[in-house]
Structure 1
Amino acid sequence: MPGRLRAPTGRYGGKTAQERQAERRRRFLDAALRLFGDTPGYRATTVAALSETAGLSTRQFYEEFRTLEDVLAALHLQVNGWAEAAVLEAAAAAAELPLVDRATAIFRAYAGNVTADPRRIRITFVEIIGVSPRLEEQRLARRARWVDLVCAEVASAVARGEAAPRDYRLAVTAFIGSVNGLLHDWSAGWVEATLDEVVDELVRLLLGILQPAGPRPVGP
């Protein structure tokens, strides 16, 4: 299909065209979270099934999206956006706390958000993998955004004298992989621990990067 169908314009049922479009889009994304994030999964879902679950028509689907891949892309960004909003709120509230308390608040907010609904974890860590080069680029770009966010917090720790000054980007990139892997495995039931224990372990990992045991390196 070369492009989306044109959506109706004007006011109908007390709502503007923009409001109706936003509601349709929300209903399609809610339906995608149910189908992609649970059974049958992204690869086994059809446009007809998604439209039926959303309570909308396939014509309305094509007014909002070109393909199911577009829906998955939008849902992946939405799920990450929810988690980022929770993290930024927690970081702002903990801005004046010591490093260990800031890190705990941030990772508790992230872990709590992404594990609040197991379907979010599946969208973020499972369904998005291997779909297409376009979605792989989006996934890596979104992970780079998380790396930037943690690097900003690390820079704050360095400025406060809580960590030695150096380039932490490589270490943070590896750390983000640990965060994703541990939360995925915990959600899948492969890790026998509470979520608080998982968060505490992630904080210890980060502190081990920023404040390694042994004497501080000597340098200018």
Structure 2
Amino acid sequence: MPGAARRSTRPYGGKSPEERRAERRRRLLDAALQLFGDEPGYRASSVAAVCARADLSTRQFYEEFRNLEDVLVQLHREGNARAAEAAAEALARAADAGYAERAVEAFRAYARVVADDPRRVRVMFVEVVGVSADLERRRLETRRTWAELVLAEVKLAIERGEVPSRDYRLTVHAFISAVNGLLYDWSAGYIQATLDEVLDELVTILVGAIERQG
């Protein structure tokens, strides 16, 4: 089209346009993580505030995201993806171990990724709640995915004869709720304990609930 603006495909400052765009996107996400996960929180933030912290324009923001909720979705997805990758790697390393050891290794890997940054804990477990019907659906689907992963491990333990055969769905969903609540309370300073102590307690809850009879 005559007169239409063309996006440069030439390197600038030693970086390709794709690299510069990825860098801008990362700056926006990092700025949003700071605002959403600390002060003032997601609901009191604005596109202008995110852009100011990232030192980018609103035009550049809207080239990457539709709105603030879109950013929140990406942060939530990114945190869960990192945790899922860590848990999967831990399970692969412990492929020949018993279920209790596998549970410990996978959960510790998951929790260390999530709890590494208190801001990410707040974003993943608090700020995403009740934002919109669409995000609530995404959030619950993510929890269901985690539950299915744990249930698959329990099924394997049943097949190996390591734990009693019964319906573990409520047990697993209760455990996931405990994880979300306790990790947030710990990260926010409500609970005075080390991360290792928190993780040990959660693993004890999970293993004890799975091993109970009937």
TM-score, normalised relative to structure 1: 0.87
State the 1:78 CA deviation: 0.7
Q: Structure 1 residues 7, 140: closer, same or farther in 2, change over 3 A?
A: farther
Deviations 1:12-41 (A, max 9, x none): 314443333222211111111111111121
- Higher alpha-carbon deviation: 180-189 or 29-38: 180-189
Show the 5 A alignment for 1:16-31: 16-31=16-31
CA distance in structure 1 between the partners assigned to 2:155 and 2:15 by the alignment? 47
Show the 5 A alignment for 1:174-185: 174-185=174-185
CA distance in structure 2 between the partners assigned to 1:65 and 1:7 by the alignment? 20
Deviations 1:137-179 (A, max 9, x none): 1111111111111112112211221112233222211111111
State the 1:7 CA deviation: 9.0
State the 1:73 CA deviation: 0.8
Indicate the residue corresponding to 2:169 in structure 1: 169
Indicate the residue corresponding to 1:201 in structure 2: 201
**Paired residues, what number?**
209
Q: Structure 1 residues 7, 111: closer, same or farther in 2, change over 3 A?
A: farther
Structure 1 counterpart of 2:10, which letter? R
CA distance in structure 2 between the partners assigned to 1:159 and 1:192 by the alignment? 39
Deviations 1:199-220 (A, max 9, x none): 22222211222211xxx56xxx
Q: Percent identity?
A: 57
Indicate the residue corresponding to 1:156 in structure 2: 156
- Any stretches of 5+ residues in structure 1 without a counterpart? 1-5
1:7–1:63 contact (8 Å) kept in structure 2: no
Structure 1 counterpart of 2:7, which letter? P
CA distance in structure 2 between the partners assigned to 1:161 and 1:7 by the alignment? 64
Please state if 1:124 is matched with 2:120.
no
CA distance in structure 2 between the partners assigned to 1:123 and 1:205 by the alignment? 25
TM-score, normalised relative to structure 2: 0.90
State the 1:98 CA deviation: 2.1
CA distance in structure 1 between the partners assigned to 2:72 and 2:58 by the alignment? 16
Structure 1 counterpart of 2:81, which letter? G
Q: Structure 1 residues 7, 80: closer, same or farther in 2, change over 3 A?
A: farther
- Higher alpha-carbon deviation: 99-108 or 136-145: 99-108
Q: Structure 1 residues 165, 71: closer, same or farther in 2, change over 3 A?
A: same
Indicate the residue corresponding to 2:32 in structure 1: 32
Please state if 1:11 is matched with 2:10.
yes
Does the residue aligned with 2:43 lie in a helix, a strand or coil?
Answer: helix
- Any stretches of 5+ residues in structure 2 without a counterpart? none
Structure 2 counterpart of 1:12, which letter? P
2:29–2:71 contact (8 Å) kept in structure 1: yes
State the 1:191 CA deviation: 2.3
State the 1:184 CA deviation: 1.3
CA RMSD between the two structures: 1.9
Deviations 1:109-159 (A, max 9, x none): 122111111001110111111211111111111111111111121122112
